[in-house]
Structures are given as C-alpha cells and as structure tokens.
Structure 1
Amino acid sequence: MSFPDLVPALAARLPELRGRLIANAPLADLIWFRAGGPAQLLFTPADEADLAAFLAALPAEIPVTVIGLGSNLIVRDGGVPGVVIRLGRGFGDITVEDGHRLRVGAAVPDVKLARAAADAGMAGLAFYRGIPGGIGGALRMNAGAHGGETRDALVEARAIDRAGRIHVLANADFGFTYRHSGAPADLIFTGALYQGRPGDPAAILAEMEAITRAREASQPIRERTGGSTFKNPPGHKAWQLVDAAGCRGLRLGAAQVSQMHCNFLINTGGARAADIEGLGEEVRRRVKDQSGVDLEWEIKRIGVPA
C-alpha cells in the first residue's frame, strides 16, 4: 500500500527542519514482530527543539502517532496514515545527577538505563533490565517487571504537546495505575528524571543477571515477539487463563501462541500483522468462553487493515 506523499508540502512549510522525513517508510523492520505496513510519513527529529517546531507547524488535520523501539506494538498491514514520529539519537543521552538521580532521553532503551544506574552504584532501577523497549513507552504504560514499576522511581518527565508546547510532569501528574498512565494522549515524552538510592554496583549487576536468566528461562525473548500480549486481569494471571483455554501453541497462519510462555505471540516467519492480531483476538474469545474473563490487550495496535 502507498499513501500520498506529504514530504514536499511539509518540507516547504518547515525549511529549517533538521530531522529526517521519509514518505511511505516501511515500519516492519522497526517492529519486533517484523510485520506490518508503512508510515505515510516517518519523522525522526534531531532533538527536542526540532520536534517542538515540527509539531507547532504541522497542520492540525494530520494525525500523529509515536512509536518507540517497537517491542510492544502491532502495526496493521495497511500502514499508518499521517505522521509517525520515532525519536532517535537526539533523545538518547544519559546523565548521572547529584542525589542518586539519573536523567535520560525518551529513546534510551530500558536495559541501558538499568546498566547506567548499576555502573553509577544506583539501586532501585534494576527492574528495567527485564523490560523490552524504551523509556518513552515505559512512561506511557507504567512499564514494570520483577517487583518494580516506573511509578516507583520516576521523579518527573518532559513532554511536548500537539501544538509544540513543552511540559514538565511530576510523578503525581501521571495518574499511574497498572500498565497505564493517565497523561494526556497527545503528549510526546522526550526525557525523564529517575530517583535511585545508594547501592553496590556488583550487587546491582548480580540482580540484573538474575533477571536476565529468569527471562531467558521462561520467555521466548529470541523470537519475533511483542512481549506480554495481555494484561493480568484482577485476581488472575493472563498466561494461566490462556493455557486453561487450550491456546498454548495455537496458530493462525505463521503467527503462534508461544509454547514456552503462552502470554506471548510469536511470528514464526512471514506472519502478517492481521495473523498476529487475529490470533490474539481468537485467544481472547476462547478465554472468555472458558473462564468468563475479558482479556485486555497490553500490546498496542496502530494503523489500518490492508
């Protein structure tokens, strides 16, 4: 599928833009599932100021979608209309600050944040070693693992709204709940400040290694997957419900429910996004029929069908 080219009009409107604009940019290679259609326009801003200028000048009728490292995402086969924004090197800085604090850009991978904190002797952030993806996504969904959540360590975050205005949000402004942030949907996070506590680097690294071993033993992390597919419903574990409904190993086309951990969907090779999403919906249907529980997607789904 091919969309109308937005680049000429936007380039003329924004002659001083420093970021990169690509029309009909393939997204599959940026998504862990390795499936899905193109972005009508992919914009990679140079830095926060470049992003703010772009958003301020972008016509209001053009939709904006933000993606991170693509670890928890299905891009539908018809692609994503409008502008897809993906933060790059200009949002990848990590700075250790006084008082056991760490300031990071929104494009920093979660695992890199955990390592930087360990190297600085900063405890309380090792749980990020067990979370795929980047800081922007972690802020949006209150990412957590191994007993820790984003809300436990976040001090504040910087963000830009659809009009190009910069905001600073304190932890309390997020309204964090399980795998959810109540921050306005139009905000694009650009960076965050985290609070750690004094710790021994060797002990923190040992904790991170234990997290790595636990993930490798129980999750299909070397497959083309999107991480945990469904949120844990109150009083239940999603994987147990999926297993009880007989869905372990279930297939649709080249998409499969993982045999190792049945709250993971995998692309066994050549799966369409429609196969992956359709398999997830079939799992939801079977779980509902078997247990009466409505599973809620944890993986974000964007774009239009083919």
Structure 2
Amino acid sequence: MSPTDLISRLDTSEVRGALLPGFALGDTTWFRVGGNAELYFQPADAEDLSDFLRRLPAEVPITLVGLGSNLLVREGGVPGVTIRLSQKGFGGARPIGGSRLEIGAAIADKQVARAALDAAIAGFAFYFGIPGGIGGALRMNAGANGGETSAQVIEVRAMNRAGEILTLSKADMAWSYRHCGAPDDLIFLSAVMEGTPGDPEAIKAEMDKVVEHREAAQPIRSKTGGSTFKNPPGASAWQVIDAAGCRGLTVGGAHVSPMHCNFLINEGDASAYDIELLGETVRARVLAAAGIRLDWEIKRLGVFAPGREIAPFLGA
C-alpha cells in the first residue's frame, strides 16, 4: 500500500498534529540512514493522540519512535503509522514536591539531568550520558554509570491502542536488564520519578564525570546508534567483540569503532543494510569464537528492501 492509499483510508478531519505520508524516517536517526515511514504522525498533545488512535483501523500497524539515537530503520521502510511524540506536547520536567519530578516522555535524557540539577535532586546525573529520550529510557530500562531508569520511577502514564490513558506502577512495568515487560503497544506519555535531596555542586560534579567518561571512552561525535549489543551475563559486550577479532571490522561504509567495540559507525556513506550486516557479522563471529549469542540493544525497525535481507547471526 502506498502512503497516499493509507492516508486516504483514515479519518484525519480533526488531527491537529503533523501527519506526513512517505516521511524520510531514516534522516531523523543518529545513523542518518534507512527508509521511510509509510505515514508519520506527530500528535499535538495527548488528546490529539487519543482521538487519532480511536479512529485508526485496528489492522493498521503502529510503530513508536523517539529521538532516534538507538534506532536503525531498514531500507524497505516502516509500514503503517509511525508515531513520534513532540517536545512541545509531551516534553518538560517539573518538580512536584519532595524529590520527585514529573517528566514527559519526549524530553531528552540530558535535559532531565539538568532539570534535576536545577531542583537540587540527586540520582539523575547518569542521564547526562544517555543520548536518548525518556520514552525510550522507560521502554528499554536505560542506564549508565551505575544508574538505571527502573530505580527512579514511581509510576508511568501510558496510552493504549484504544486511546485510553493508564497509570502503571513500577511492578506493572516488569523491568529487567535493558528491557521492559509492559505491553509493546503502550505509548508512554510521562513518568513520575524520584531521587534524593542533593547538593547542586556535587550533582554538577557527577554530571561532569559522566561527560568526561563518555568523551574518553566512546565515539560520541560519530554517526552511531550508541551501544549496539546488550552485555551478556557475566561479561561486557565490547570485550567479547574484541576477543572475536572484530575491532575495526568493516562492511561497506560501516565499521566497528576502534575506540569502543560495542559501537557501530557510519563513516558517511553506509547504508542501513551495511550497518545491520556488520552487526550480524559481529554476532556470528562472537558466537563462533565464544559460544555467546549477543542480543541487539539498538532497535531495528521496518522491513528489508527486496534482495537485501539479512539473517540473524548470518543464518548460523
């Protein structure tokens, strides 16, 4: 189905947000590669999102994306409707008493760390080193530098496919390492998160250490999706990748970072196919060398272009 065909089937008379057929979704990712969204929707606010979902036919698939930092869009594009929440409608982080913040799902993690600093709330400095948004952090239990999203959350507001708003407890989120067990079709809108009273100078010093560590150890100024694979039990992903001889490994315009082996880099002319093929080559080599099956941390969306399919572990 073409984007024009899809939008012609929908009741968009009351949509207030941006609704764009054939949107170049790959251009919004940090890798800067990949295909188009069949239909892209950026709702004005929660009411606009709810109205749209209630009118959307049940057979039309929905894909939710965030800031694009941990995302690879396949060349065949993303069927159905791709939804991205706006900062204006779903951003912000405000103190709500004690050491709690109410945080919108579309706000960048780094901005949350700054808001907590302004409010003299400790426990959020680790977000200063995560290049994503809170919606993604909730979905994957993002963490760094000893901090983790699940430790901070009190409750989460979410919207289901029917356009209904739900409140989820920490137990409802069913978190584990880099994973959330809440239903995949829920769209996270905001969260109440809690830290502890802190000294602004100490919080700022902790944030500075986070930045120093990232700049020294990670290729943060390259076109990359961040950490590519989850750490396997009892090991670090970069170490098993290095031991398998993958440091600097290249496929097309993509290569494994010599600085940090768990980062894949687009040198400027890589395709989504190059990047995913490189990732699966790394997984295959680690499996052969160490018997470890690395799991992707980067989210891969959409369908392969015809003739450019890639089997997991290269079919091993």
TM-score range, shorter chain: over 0.9
Structural mapping, 1:34-49, within 5 Å: 34-49=32-47
Give the Cα–Cα distance (whole angstroms) in 1 for the partners of residues 291 and 179 of structure 2: 23
The AA in structure 2 aligned to 1:43 is F
The aligned residue for residue 262 of structure 1 is: 261
Give the Cα–Cα distance (whole angstroms) in 1 for the partners of residues 47 and 25 of structure 2: 25
Give a deviation string over 1:189-214, Cα, whole Å, max 9, x none: 01111101100111101100110010
Structure 1 contact 225–265 (Cα < 8 Å) conserved = yes
Structure 2 contact 238–260 (Cα < 8 Å) conserved = yes
Normalising by structure 1, report the TM-score. 0.97
The AA in structure 1 aligned to 2:164 is R
Give the Cα–Cα distance (whole angstroms) in 2 for the partners of residues 302 and 87 of structure 1: 17
Structure 2 contact 26–72 (Cα < 8 Å) conserved = no
Pairwise CA distance, 1:8: 3.3
Pairwise CA distance, 1:61: 0.6
The aligned residue for residue 139 of structure 2 is: 140
Taking only aligned residues, the RMSD between alpha carbons, in angstroms, comes to: 1.1
Pairwise CA distance, 1:2: 6.0
The AA in structure 2 aligned to 1:150 is T
The aligned residue for residue 23 of structure 2 is: 25
The aligned residue for residue 8 of structure 1 is: 8
SS at structure 2 position matched to 1:138: helix
The aligned residue for residue 273 of structure 1 is: 272
SS at structure 1 position matched to 2:115: helix
The AA in structure 2 aligned to 1:283 is V
The aligned residue for residue 252 of structure 1 is: 251
Pairwise CA distance, 1:14: 3.2
**Structure 2 residue 177 is matched with structure 1 residue 178:** yes
The aligned residue for residue 109 of structure 1 is: 108
Structural mapping, 1:203-218, within 5 Å: 203-218=202-217
5+ long unaligned stretches in structure 2: 306-316
SS at structure 2 position matched to 1:6: helix
Normalising by structure 2, report the TM-score. 0.94
SS at structure 2 position matched to 1:118: helix
The aligned residue for residue 54 of structure 1 is: 52
The AA in structure 2 aligned to 1:56 is R
The AA in structure 1 aligned to 2:107 is V
Give the Cα–Cα distance (whole angstroms) in 2 for the partners of residues 166 and 3 of structure 1: 28
Structure 2 contact 154–192 (Cα < 8 Å) conserved = yes
SS at structure 2 position matched to 1:189: strand
5+ long unaligned stretches in structure 1: none
Pairwise CA distance, 1:5: 3.9
SS at structure 1 position matched to 2:89: helix
Structural mapping, 1:124-163, within 5 Å: 124-163=123-162
Structure 1 contact 109–133 (Cα < 8 Å) conserved = yes
The aligned residue for residue 239 of structure 2 is: 240
The aligned residue for residue 299 of structure 2 is: 300
SS at structure 2 position matched to 1:18: coil
The AA in structure 2 aligned to 1:61 is E
Pairwise CA distance, 1:130: 1.2
Structure 1 contact 127–208 (Cα < 8 Å) conserved = yes
